[in-house]
Amino acid sequence: MSAFEPVTIPDWAWRSAPAQTALRKRDASGILRVAQQYGGASQHRLSNLVGIQQGRISEILKGTRQVTAFDVFERIADGLRMPDHARAALGLAPSQEGGTGEALAGLGEIVRIFPDQAAATADIRHMAAAANHIDVLAVRGLGVLALKDSLLRGSLMTTEHRAALRVLLARPDAEATAKRAVEIGESPESFASGIRHSISRVRELADVVDLEIYLYDRLPVWRLVGLDDTLYAATFADRWEGHESPTYKLVSTPGGALYSGFRRTFEDLRQRAERVV
């Protein structure tokens, strides 16, 4: 077998729990071990496939060298012929090969995929500092706006211009809100208390932004942060909170259905919600 021959890793292997954990944590060692276990790739073969010296491959596998560079993860994903769902978990855009990747690349609206909110934080804060119109769809909003070190609060407090901020939060006493609390193992009472605290904290931003706060009564599904014509989308699932979800960075394009669909979702929910500020 040639050292340059592509490694074949079955799709189910990329969906396995160890692989998903390694992808979401951007654990290069774990990813390469998946290639060894399910693709039979030696260190020499991995070196040739991903373009990393064999000595460094050995260090990565031993855990003595960490991989953080985005372009290195791109080379690993390309070299291992990682499927698009695995690339998304790793925080990479779909590949240019295959129908799914070509379709998404052609639309061009998904410009980046982050493995979670933490990975997207610097990008979002950079955009927020210059944004004129900011839309937030959350549940409690504590990690987005209410806490001192939350995602957007610092940017809004320090910016030199006055932005327009629209915030949609779950209604504290709604049945759907109580269901969400149970999903993540919290009591409805404490969960509702967190929302009320967040509303109070977000109200304080009225001194620095043109503020609107709305309360909706549907089961939370999407977490959205809109910054002018850029949108960051994540999900609330029974397995994770919104900040733990992969975060998709979307921009408006003529043929892009996702961006326009999320924007329409936000506006429909806002129109049906109760404005409290």
Confidence tier at 100 by pLDDT (50, 70, 90)? very low
Confidence tier at 106 by pLDDT (50, 70, 90)? very low
Whether residue 250 sits in one domain with residue 174: yes
State what percent of residues in the chain have pLDDT above 70: 92
Q: Which two tokens stand for residue 66?
A: 């960490």
Provide φ and ψ at 231, rounded to 5°. Answer: -135, 135
Q: Are 232 and 249 in contact (CB under 8 A)?
A: yes
How confident is the model over 110-147, as pLDDT tens digits?
878 888 888 889 999 989 988 999 999 999 999 999 99
SS3 65: coil
**Domains in the chain: how many in total?**
2
Q: How many CA atoms lie within 13 A of 111 on its CB side?
A: 13
Confidence tier at 107 by pLDDT (50, 70, 90)? very low
Question: Is residue 99 included in any domain, yes or no?
Answer: no
Instruction: Please state, in angstroms and rounded to a whole number, the distance separating the CA atoms of residues 121 and 133.
Output: 18
Instruction: Please state, in angstroms and rounded to a whole number, the distance separating the CA atoms of residues 249 and 123.
Output: 10
Which range has the worst mean pLDDT, 45-59, 75-89, 195-209, 243-257?
Answer: 243-257
Sheet arrangement for strand 274-275: 110-114, 247-251, 230-235, 222-227, 133-137, 164-170, 210-216, 274-275
Question: Is residue 172 included in any domain, yes or no?
Answer: yes
Confidence tier at 108 by pLDDT (50, 70, 90)? low
- Choose among 236, 235, 231: nearest CA to 263: 231
Q: What per-residue string of b and e applies to 53-62 under the rule 16 or more CB within 10 Å gives b?
A: eeeebeebbe
Confidence tier at 239 by pLDDT (50, 70, 90)? low
Give residue 104's pLDDT. Answer: 41
More confident residue, 41 or 134: 134
Question: Is residue 57 included in any domain, yes or no?
Answer: yes
pLDDT at 102 exceeding the cut of 90? no
Range of the domain at 215: 117-275
Alpha helix (H) residue ranges in the chain: 11-14, 17-24, 28-39, 43-50, 54-62, 70-79, 84-90, 99-107, 117-128, 153-158, 175-183, 188-203, 257-272
Inter-CA distances, 75 with 52, 107, 149, Å: 9, 23, 34
Whether residue 233 sits in one domain with residue 148: yes
Pairing of strands 222-227, 230-235: antiparallel
CATH number (domain holding residue 127):
3.30.870.10
How many residues appear in the chain? Answer: 277
Whether residue 237 sits in one domain with residue 139: yes
Which range has the worst mean pLDDT, 1-10, 40-49, 74-83, 125-134?
Answer: 1-10
Give residue 177's pLDDT. Answer: 94
Whether residue 165 sits in one domain with residue 31: no
Whether residue 132 sits in one domain with residue 221: yes
**Which span out of 88-102, 107-121, 175-189 was modeled with the highest average pLDDT?**
175-189
